[in-house]
């Protein structure tokens, strides 16, 4: 669950918010009521980035046309030129 906090309040209470993040809380920082940033544990962000990268690679692999054996020979020969 994300807790919303205004940008001014986030600036003035940053140490408190960081302790909350260490405890597992997540914050959405807003500016005039619109979300502008997320304050989340670093591990969660890295894991989310990794999951997104794996999913993008899977989609790419499923969309790619298979390469026939004869095409491999052409590609290898092009690399030797």
Alpha carbon distance 53, 63 (integer Å): 15
How far is residue 67's CA from residue 21's CA, in Å, rounded to a whole number?
A: 47
**pLDDT by 10-residue block (mean), the chain, 81 residues:** 91 95 93 94 76 89 79 79 56
Chain centre distance of CA 3: 20
What pLDDT, on the 0 to 100 scale, is given for residue 45? 66
Residues 6+ apart with CB under 8 A from 36: 7, 29, 30
In CATH terms, the fold of domain 1-81 is YefM-like fold (3.40.1620)
Q: pTM value?
A: 0.54
Sheet holding 26-31, edge to edge: 2-6, 26-31, 34-39
Longest CA span, the chain: 65
């Amino acid at each position: 669950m994300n807790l919303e906090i205004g940008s001014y309040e986030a600036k003035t209470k940053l140490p408190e918010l960081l302790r909350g993040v260490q405890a597992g809380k997540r914050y959405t920082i807003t500016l005039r009521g619109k979300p502008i940033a997320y304050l989340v544990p670093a591990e969660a962000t890295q894991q989310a980035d990794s999951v997104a990268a794996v999913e993008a690679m899977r989609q790419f692999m499923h969309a790619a046309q298979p390469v026939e054996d004869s095409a491999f020979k052409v590609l290898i020969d092009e690399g030797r030129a």
